[in-house]
Chain A
């Protein structure tokens, strides 16, 4: 049990890291998609899209790592969560199909560009909403019997999951607008500042709503957040979030360039920490712990070698690709 215990915890952190990397990286891509209709047709939209054209594919790969990693490291959780949130996963995938092909298709067909712009923003919105609702569906608990999902195919639809879904949509819009502040200038950047303020208000409002709702879902959450000893650690999360949010609003007012993006990322990191507080050590709250869902030690060790060898390289060349396309986006073509 000794080694296995440690490896399972390590794998829980690796999956959490993969999910976080996905959320903050494809999050701003999807956020730009969600905000796309508010940008002026022509230069505004072209530049917004060009700011992510070279990197979106790499960003989306973290979702494959999240899904594939969950499959590999916690196969039982994968086998329960996906059937339980079936329509959401399908909606997310189809949304991402529209979003993904729109990157190329809108440049191939000027006459139908308006349609592909709609596919881009609609696909991004559906994907973001579905992801947020999957999160909510996991937090509110999944009916499990034996080693399988035991509920019906609409169990995931509740007011709570709608709230988490909208929360993620608003959060992605915040990330996207802050990215655009960093990458654009001129009137398009002014517009991004305006949108970022609204998205920040919406994100924080929904974050507060979800945070207040969650402890009411289950007694375990309540104890974790509001009773000693949990409260000493847990209370740091909202406090830090408050500080970052205040700084973000100040930065947006002072027209900081890059800092709002990093502050928004910080808020997401704290949201992730909050999730950890609520869920640990379950992968499906109240039903399945990470140890129950974990793959055997041989699988964990084999994959850990792969992660240790490749992850530094992946971070290295991904960072290089971002570096190549650094700076403000140009006014024509893809740069």
Chain B
């Protein structure tokens, strides 16, 4: 059944599928781990049980999301060898050590303290438990640091030498490899994206419960915290995205040409193409809706600055324009929608209506999953945009795959698709079910759930929320 497809395409599909699925979970757990640390810290500082309730509420969701992140991440660490063995052999000496550092400094830290964070509150005391939470949060960040360094090196390779056997070898300075030109931008942009993604998800859950009961103190607190994040961090993210784009223009100009849909060079100011249908064979954008000179203004900060187009890049070295062009637009549109939501919430806050505006809450629910869409769109932009290379300019994707027959790769792809959809959609459903229940005063801890959430669901009938909340106030 896979005869029509070649092993290379199947291997690429498999990587795209497993890594896209995987990244959803870290995007959530990086932000959520920090949010949990903040909640627990506020609880220790203020002694307000409201924060502990929220901590316990989100901890259950974190546990499920983290488990899915761990198992889908394990798959990634073997994917390099199974489907991309030539790449592994060639790039192993340079990126292997960075990934080893990720295991040593991040994965063990997360995993070692996770057990205490989830189940150890009553065994180790508050302060040690808080330290465990901080360690897990730190681990998620350190993990992002190393793996984004690896990805950035593949995008903007630096600090290496070429070995006689065709291997990439480390040069004299590891710092030049780790802090390669695109890494600082990618790291900041990605970590902020994870925080925003989590904030929007938390805000969506808070808004959902506010729509049911505006007096719910727990829902108010999480909605308010999330909207602060959206209002303050979304502008920062747009600014960082712009900086990252300028960095890409410097090091991977063909990617930016694809993002902009610029098939032609523009010697005196390039237009911003808002929408269009790309025809890569004919090398033109059909039905393009353009704003004159705006692209030059954004990318060069000057209306008449010249910008080169894909006509300067041989067809064999061009990334597929359609995917990159549209994925980029999805990401940017969501980014501005987040900014809009944040501003709307600020207005509501100033007028004292943050918890009363039903349409604001509905919009926040709608935007709840938007961060996940944006991060996937962003990764599609950058990963498809660096094609046809796996190590930019140096190793082509088609030269990096394992010597495997198409049926082997196709069968494993099919297995991953079936298992991932089964396991992770059920897991996502469990997460949504946890989210659909409002947090309550004296939220039960995860360690007391021997019968799962079914039992605890029966304890607190919905009408009691408001009354209990007022007592707490």
Contact = CB atoms under 8 A, between A and B. Distances in A.
A71 B99 contact: yes
Nearest to A107: B452
A177 B302 CA distance: 71
A324 B449 contact: no
A245 B272 CA distance: 75
Nearest to B409: A86
Contacts of B256: none
B426 interface: yes
A103 B71 CA distance: 11
A35 interface: no
Contact of B447 (A46, A101, A334): A334
A150 B88 CA distance: 16
B67 A83 contact: no
Interface stretch (B114-122, B236-244, B291-299, B367-375): B114-122
Interface string A19-51: 000000000000000000000000000100000
A100 B67 CA distance: 6
Interface string B88-124: 1101111011011111110111111111101110111
A71 B81 contact: yes
Contact of A65 (B92, B104, B135, B452): B104
A93 B74 CA distance: 7
Given A109-B452, A153-B405, A302-B170, A82 B101 contact: no
B107 A64 contact: yes
Contacts of A105: 64, 426-427, 430
B419 A98 contact: yes
Interface in A141-155: 147-150, 152-153
A253 B122 CA distance: 36
Contacts of A106: 452
Interface in B416-453: 416, 419-420, 423, 426-427, 430, 433-434, 446-453
B408 A101 contact: no
Nearest to A317: B112
Contacts of B171: 298
Given A75-B88, A110-B454, A98 B423 contact: yes
A81 B403 contact: no
Given A75-B89, A314-B112, A83 B402 contact: yes
B257 interface: no
B412 interface: yes
A150 B405 CA distance: 11
Instruction: For chain B, give the interface size range.
Output: 35 or more
Interface in B159-201: 163, 165, 167, 169-172, 174
Contacts of A72: 92, 96-97, 99-100
Given A86-B404, A104-B67, A93 B78 contact: yes
A102 to B, nearest CB: 9
A279 interface: no
B126 to A, nearest CB: 14
Contact of A108 (B82, B116, B402, B452): B452
A110 B170 CA distance: 52
B22 to A, nearest CB: 11
A73 B88 CA distance: 11
Contacts of A325: 115, 119-120, 123
A179 to B, nearest CB: 15
A325 B123 CA distance: 8
Contacts of B135: 317
The interface centre, meaning the residue of A72, A96, A306, A335 with most chain B CB atoms within 10 A of its CB, is: A72
The interface centre, meaning the residue of A108, A152, A306 with most chain B CB atoms within 10 A of its CB, is: A108
A81 B412 CA distance: 17
A335 B423 CA distance: 26
Interface stretch (A55-63, A163-171, A202-210, A220-228): A55-63
A83 B407 CA distance: 13
Nearest to A307: B104
Nearest to A46: B450
Contact of A58 (B82, B99, B115, B450): B115
A249 interface: no
Contacts of A148: 85-86, 89, 403
A75 B92 contact: yes
A299 interface: yes
B256 to A, nearest CB: 32
Nearest to B102: A68
A90 B82 contact: yes
Nearest to B69: A100
B70 A60 contact: yes
Interface in A123-161: 147-150, 152-153
Contact of A314 (B91, B108, B415): B108
A310 B107 CA distance: 12
B224 interface: no
A82 B78 contact: yes
A137 to B, nearest CB: 14
B77 A64 contact: yes
A89 interface: yes
B165 A71 contact: no
Given A110-B451, A332-B450, A321 B103 contact: no
B354 interface: no
B170 A54 contact: no
A79 B86 contact: yes
Nearest to B18: A93
Contacts of A60: 70, 74, 111
A80 interface: yes
Nearest to A99: B71
Contacts of B122: 335
A286 to B, nearest CB: 19
Contact of A321 (B82, B88, B107, B113): B113
Interface of A: 46, 53-55, 57-58, 60-61, 63-65, 67-69, 71-73, 75-76, 78-83, 86-87, 89-90, 93-94, 96-101, 103-110, 147-150, 152-153, 295-296, 298-299, 302-303, 306-307, 310-311, 314, 317-318, 320-321, 324-325, 332-335
List the 8 shortest-distance A-B pairs measured between CB atoms, nearest first: A75-B92, A54-B115, A72-B96, A82-B81, A79-B89, A100-B71, A79-B85, A58-B111
27 contacts: A54-B114, A54-B115, A58-B112, A64-B73, A64-B103, A75-B89, A78-B85, A82-B81, A83-B403, A89-B78, A89-B81, A89-B82, A97-B72, A97-B423, A101-B71, A104-B63, A104-B67, A109-B430, A147-B165, A153-B404, A295-B92, A295-B96, A299-B96, A299-B169, A306-B105, A318-B108, A325-B120
Given A71-B81, A104-B63, A314-B104, 6 more contacts: A54-B119, A72-B96, A73-B96, A79-B402, A90-B416, A298-B170
